[in-house]
Structure 1
C-alpha cells in the first residue's frame, strides 16, 4: 500500500488505490491509518496521501550504491564461480574507486579488499567510472595529476589517458592490461541507473599466466549479461533474475 501511494503521487484516494492494487478496502484503510500514525504518510485531503516526514528522513540514510551492491551480490558470486576468477563491484567517490564486493577464486590473494579505496586511472573499474563522468568533472580529474606509474604499462600521460577514457565510453568496457599489477589483466563494464547514468562498475580479474583464462569476447558477453540482470532487478524490485543466459553462456567454459 505504501508503494501504491508513493507511486501515485497523491493523486488518487485510498479507495482508488485499493481497487488498482487489488487490496480489500478495509485492509487498505487500516494500512494507511497505520502508516499515517507512524509518520510514513501524510494526509493531503479528500482521502489522498503523500510521503510523510519519517519516510523522507529515511531517504537520507539510504546508500543507493550499497543497496544495488547487495542486490548484485548473488549474481556476482555465481559469475565468479563460473569464470573461476575474482569478480569485484566498485563505485566512484572522492576521485577514488571504492571496492564494495570482492568474490571468487584467488580473492584472498588479490591486494584489494572490501571498503578500501584505490586510484581510478590505473584499473578497469576506475577507467569505466572515469569515462562516464560528466565532461567537466573528467576534465578536472585529468588536470589534477601527476599520475604515478604502478607498472611499466600504467597510462600516466593525461592526453593518452583522456583518449583511453573516450575509447572506453564508446566501446562500453575497459581493460586493465597489467597496469596496476604485473601479470594481472582485468575487464570491467558499467552498471547504469534507470536514467542511463553510471552508478557502478563490475570487473573480472585474471592472472595472465592462468591457462584457463576466459577469452575476452566471452568474458564481455558474461559481464554484459550479469549487468543486464542486475539492472533489471534494481529497476524492477521483485522481478525474477534472468540468470539462465549467464549459466548457458558460462557452460561453454
Structure 2
C-alpha cells in the first residue's frame, strides 16, 4: 500500500497562508491582522515575514509597519501570466472588442472557487471605481465572468460549489440567496452571457461570456462599463460576436491545456 505523501517543511505551508492573505488584501496589513487571519502566532508570523522580506516576496512600510506583497513575487506571477497561451490567443480579439466599445475588458480563468484576472485592457475614458488588477481574484457568484463559468458547471458541480462557498454581499445588489443564484445561472445558460449588475462595484455593470470548446472551460471574458453610459444592447451584441469569433479560433488552435 502506497504511503500518503506528507508535506516537507510545514513552514512553507505557513508562508503560503501569509502570501495568500496578502494577495487577497486590498490594503497593507499589520502583523496582528496577518497572524489573526492565518491562525499563526505573532512571533511565528513575524519570523516568516522576515524571511519573505529577505527574498523580496513581501515588502514592509517602515513607518506604518504594515506588509504587502513584494515585487519579486509579483514579477514571478506576471512572468507566469505572460506565458499563458489563452492570453496570447485571445489578445487580438479582446483588443478589437475594447476598441469597438472603448470600455474596460477583462480576461479570467477558473482558479479553484474564484476567477483569476489574467488580462485587462483599460478604457481611455473616465471610469467608475473598478476594483480589478491582473493577478487578483474575484467571486464566481457575483462577477460576470464568474457566473458565465458557473453556467458551464454540471448541476452536481454547481451544488458542490454552493455547498462550500459563502455568498457574501459586496454591494446591495449581490445575490446571496442560493435559489436565486441557481435561477440566474439557468438564465445565463440560455442567453449565452452573464451580467454583473452592480454586484461587485456600485455604478459598474459587466457583461461576460465563457470560452468552452469540446466541454473544456478555457476561461471567460467581460466588458465593464460605468452605469451612466452602459449601452446594454450594443455591449451584449459585441460580447456575443467576440465569443463566437474566439470559440472558432480556439476550436482551430486547441494546442494548450
The TM tier, using the shorter chain, reads 0.5 to 0.7
User: What SS class does the counterpart of residue 228 from structure 2 fall into?
Assistant: coil
Query: Does structure 2 conserve the Cα–Cα contact (< 8 Å) formed by 1:88 and 1:99?
Result: yes
Residue 118 of structure 2 corresponds to residue 100 of structure 1: yes
Query: Does structure 1 conserve the Cα–Cα contact (< 8 Å) formed by 2:208 and 2:220?
Result: yes
Residue 239 of structure 2 corresponds to residue 229 of structure 1: no
> 2:68 corresponds to which residue?
none
Q: Which of 182, 207, 231 matches 2:202?
A: 182
Listed one character per residue, the Cα deviations across residues 208-251 of structure 1 (whole Å, up to 9, x for unaligned) are 123xx3x22222221122122222222224xxxxxxxxxxxxxx
Q: Which of 70, 86, 93 matches 2:104?
A: 86
Number of corresponding residues: 171
> 2:67 corresponds to which residue?
none
In the alignment, structure 2 segments of 5+ residues that lack a partner are 1-79
2-structure distance, mates of 1:167, 1:200? 19
> 2:225 corresponds to which residue?
206
Query: Does structure 1 conserve the Cα–Cα contact (< 8 Å) formed by 2:131 and 2:201?
Result: no
Residue 84 of structure 2 corresponds to residue 66 of structure 1: yes
Residue 180 of structure 2 corresponds to residue 143 of structure 1: no
In the alignment, structure 1 segments of 5+ residues that lack a partner are 1-61, 238-253
2-structure distance, mates of 1:229, 1:66? 19
> 1:4 corresponds to which residue?
none
Larger radius of gyration: 1
User: What SS class does the counterpart of residue 222 from structure 1 fall into?
Assistant: helix
User: What SS class does the counterpart of residue 191 from structure 1 fall into?
Assistant: strand
Residue 137 of structure 2 corresponds to residue 121 of structure 1: no
Query: Does structure 2 conserve the Cα–Cα contact (< 8 Å) formed by 1:98 and 1:118?
Result: yes
> 2:180 corresponds to which residue?
160
CA deviation after TM superposition for structure 1 residue 108, in Å: 10
Q: 1:108 to 1:71 in 2, by over 3 A?
A: farther
User: So what's the TM-score if we normalise by structure 1?
Assistant: 0.62
